[in-house]
């Protein structure tokens, strides 16, 4: 169990990136949703011991993460949003080097570990190729392989599918789902579909604060009967925003589909739709902006 209480981080320029974050995260996949600048990466870096928060507490099992960062690092796997690689080193040799850094001294044990990981992430056939020459999806799968060295019990992945094509995204998400059966995995992203596909529990973070937390299905059920849809011409959008609580818009065949949040039928051609996780996300952000 990962417990976060009262976590606050204020940067030197006065930016309050985290503002009293409280979370309890158990085994399995946990989704952390939020727009760019919400504080997700600051939270992930704090958990991963890459920066010390201004105040608050992080506890993983019996490890006080802030006071005992080395203990946490021994059981942590981390795939940051951007990670660098040596340009001319093969995937096999780079994983072997990382295994040494992780404390696997025996050459035999490293060989077994590296070969198993390359097989698991489906990179065995390209193990002798330099990672710098991999596609985006292949690099992300290599990133997961390095994060799994030493069999960590806490894994953090930060915006892992950004920029991946649909095929690579599906391959990567299937790999994450397989990994997340028996350990704590935190998936930090702004892509709602990734959380909907994978996570048993989730939270929405914006402005450094947790706005909502729960099981995706429960959060969607809470919107039952409150989401209404209508297709309009683009020039009508501003008028609809002035009259109703529009939470999301998307284009389809040159026209605009809007979703509004209302406890009663808005009339005027609106039809009820089943609220999805995207509606949970956008309605939560909209409520936060109104309250600000």
- Write the pLDDT tens digit of every residue in 91-135: 999 999 999 988 888 999 999 999 999 998 989 999 999 988 898
Separation of alpha carbons 173 and 62, rounded Å: 30
pLDDT at 110: 93
pLDDT in tens, 147-192: 999 899 999 998 888 778 888 888 888 888 888 878 999 999 888 9
Q: Helices marked H in 54-90 — which ranges?
A: 69-73
Of 53 and 138, the one with more pLDDT: 53
pLDDT in tens, 222-233: 999 999 999 999
The first and second tokens of residue 186, run together, are 């935190």
Separation of alpha carbons 195 and 203, rounded Å: 10
Of 44 and 173, the one with more pLDDT: 44
Return the half-sphere exposure (C-beta side, CA atoms, 13 A cut-off) of residue 165.
Answer: 4
Separation of alpha carbons 282 and 133, rounded Å: 38
* Domain covering 2-75+153-219 in this structure, CATH number: 3.40.50.300
Return the half-sphere exposure (C-beta side, CA atoms, 13 A cut-off) of residue 136.
Answer: 13
The first and second tokens of residue 77, run together, are 């796997």
pLDDT at 64: 97
Per-residue b or e along 189-228, where b marks 16 or more CB atoms closer than 10 Å to that residue's CB: bbbbebbbbbbebbbbbbbbbbbbbeebeebbeebeebbb
pLDDT at 85: 67
Separation of alpha carbons 71 and 77, rounded Å: 13
Quick check: 141 and 172 in contact, CB under 8 A? yes
pLDDT at 102: 86
Which residues face 249 on adjacent strands? 258
**pLDDT, average across residues 288-292:** 79
CB neighbours of 281 closer than 8 A, spacing ≥ 6? 33, 192, 204
Q: How many CB atoms lie within 10 A of CB 52?
A: 11
Whether the per-residue pLDDT at 236 is higher than 90: the answer is yes
Separation of alpha carbons 292 and 290, rounded Å: 6
Whether the per-residue pLDDT at 292 is higher than 80: the answer is no
pLDDT at 266: 92
| Structure letter (DSSP) for residue 51 | S
Radius of gyration of the chain (CA): 21
Quick check: 208 and 246 in contact, CB under 8 A? no
Q: Helices marked H in 121-165 — which ranges?
A: 136-147
**pLDDT, average across residues 58-83:** 92
């Amino acid at each position: 169990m990962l417990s976060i209480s009262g976590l606050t981080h204020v940067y030197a320029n006065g930016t309050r990136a985290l503002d009293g974050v409280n979370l309890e995260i158990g085994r399995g996949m946990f989704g952390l949703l939020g727009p760019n600048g919400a504080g997700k990466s600051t939270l992930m870096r704090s958990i991963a011991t890459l920066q010390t928060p201004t105040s608050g507490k992080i506890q993983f099992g019996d490890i006080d993460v802030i006071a005992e960062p080395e203990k946490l690092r021994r059981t942590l796997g981390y795939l940051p949003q951007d990670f660098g690689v040596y340009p001319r080193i093969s995937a096999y040799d780079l994983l072997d080097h990382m295994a040494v850094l992780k404390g696997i001294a025996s050459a035999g044990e490293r060989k077994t570990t590296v070969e198993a990981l390359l097989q698991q992430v489906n990179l065995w056939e390209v193990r002798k190729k330099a990672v710098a020459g991999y596609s985006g999806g292949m690099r992300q799968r290599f990133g997961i392989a390095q994060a799994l060295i030493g069999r960590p019990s806490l894994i953090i992945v930060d915006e892992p599918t950004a920029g991946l094509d649909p095929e690579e995204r599906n391959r990567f998400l299937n790999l994450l789902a397989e990994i997340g059966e028996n350990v704590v995995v935190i998936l930090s992203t702004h892509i709602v579909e990734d959380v909907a596909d994978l996570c048993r529990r989730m939270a929405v973070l914006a402005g450094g604060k947790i706005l909502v937390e729960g099981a995706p299905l429960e959060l969607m059920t809470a919107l039952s009967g409150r989401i209404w849809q209508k297709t309009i011409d683009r020039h009508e959008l501003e008028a609809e925003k002035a009259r109703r609580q529009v939470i999301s818009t998307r284009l389809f065949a040159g026209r605009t589909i809007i979703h509004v949040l209302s406890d009663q039928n808005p009339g005027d051609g609106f039809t009820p739709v089943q609220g999805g996780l995207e509606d949970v996300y956008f309605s939560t952000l909209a409520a936060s902006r109104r309250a600000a």
